[in-house]
Amino acid sequence: MQQRLDDILETLASTSSGKITYLKLARRLGIFSAKLSPLLEQRMQKDFATGRPLLSALVVSSSTGLPSDGFVDAAKRLGFTWQSRGAFIAQQQSDARVFYA
Q: What is the pLDDT of residues 20-64, one digit of tens each?
A: 999 999 999 999 988 999 999 999 999 999 999 999 999 999 999
The structural domain count of the chain equals 1
Answer yes or no: is pLDDT of 67 > 90.
yes
Residue ranges making up the domain that contains 49: 2-99
Distances (CA, A) of 18 to 23, 49, 60, 68, 81: 15, 22, 10, 16, 23
Dist CA 73 CA 16 (whole Å)? 27
